[in-house]
Structure 1
């Protein structure tokens, strides 16, 4: 049990690192820093020697080597590969221990394998937005499920006191709203729409007349290359506007849920989780505003991605804690 607890803890922090590196790779336009997979220009590290660089140029003449982008991409792959091996080890340990549940480790292994496939398709399909968004959601889901597994391995941290029945559906609603908002954020980033609107609170004057919903949410399949986007300016503005409106809705829904949780929870751990999640929620909203006001500074944009992942993880933990406690009718 101790080994599994340590591996789960390490896996959570390693996943956070992979999420940070993934955001940094995407935001530095390094998603195609290596045009092949899993190597880089046919090598298992970025080509550096002169004859290796020449071979890379000959193999991929349409995409000359940019070492800083290639290293961003490969470092992300090294960390992601290490995470995959760690989760595989967690699965096999659970598989051969008689009294351990195999379901969650199996789901984690399947998800990390699918994430690897999405990473490959991100490159081979030249940043197809649907795949890029899916890769983002998969990473966030992996972090949340690892947190659930960690909680199961640490029963002393589970809530046992009865909790109001009304809190569980509210928690599910908050998670659903946040997942949709994260997907909108991923769609915004994958279609290079983060700077499509640079005025507050919604967009530049006349934005309502420029909405193009059909193009904004079309999958745009069949293009040879999606780097720097294939949407029109109007469609990108539409995506951006929906993400901003979603941010306002998410702020309201999550704030109401966390307020109810803080008021009604009978366990101090849940109230502490409510405060922590509220802090992340306000931080995330502030980072989103700063992304617009400061025109997407790199550190701020990476933090926006990272805080969203942790906010989702906290909401999932809260829901699992509500499930572990015996429900009671609200007084």
Structure 2
């Protein structure tokens, strides 16, 4: 995979980000380490996690993904080969909750300890916190950058107006600003990024690392009926997407492009995202190392105008 700039951050990495939400959920300790090794061996560097991963699993409290990544970093000695991105805002803990200054100060120490590192490469506000003034959040994040605990700041799940406002506040005060955004975006779910958010990203030179690049696995082609997702760990996420009326048309279009390019549907989905203006590195997760091959192939696949039109027409 050929490295590319992460917006104007000065960081570069291959155009694929490994999702760490599965670590401690659908991938156990050994599987997680094997996936991380295979990802780096394939040329990958960007690893995405969050303090809240995977608190939704019965028996988990949050921090499981960071802890497993930290164990892998110590075991592998590959800290200098990767860029670690994690998030704050959804897991209550030291200092309270949300994006208050006290919570941010507590959360960064918790994440650094779990990851076993002295800095976070990209630190995301996981979700906008309207109950906390932007000034309080952004000043607290700026302190982390000045202290050397964070290299680059990011905003995940921010609406365009709030992102614009946050950038203006940072600029007015001379604080470090959000330089990377993480929106929900894929071939099927396009409204969140396309339009105003995309315009801001292009105007401001932001890195864009969209999550759910494969729509929770729907765009892999593995699931063709509701029976296929029954009892699946992701069923609660897949079911509402699967019921969208345009899904059969899109899957058929992806199959056509897959046949004509001799690439998997996974590769087609990744290649489509990388063809979209502003997108730096789609985020996708796997539960087994062998699943990485199709993701990597997607970064090397260039879809021509005809194939892009086939995919777009399916959603028209």
For Structure 1 versus Structure 2, the TM-score category normalised by the shorter chain is under 0.3
* Higher helix residue share: 1
TM-score (norm 1): 0.27
| Rg comparison, structure with higher value | 1
TM-score, structure 2 as length reference: 0.28
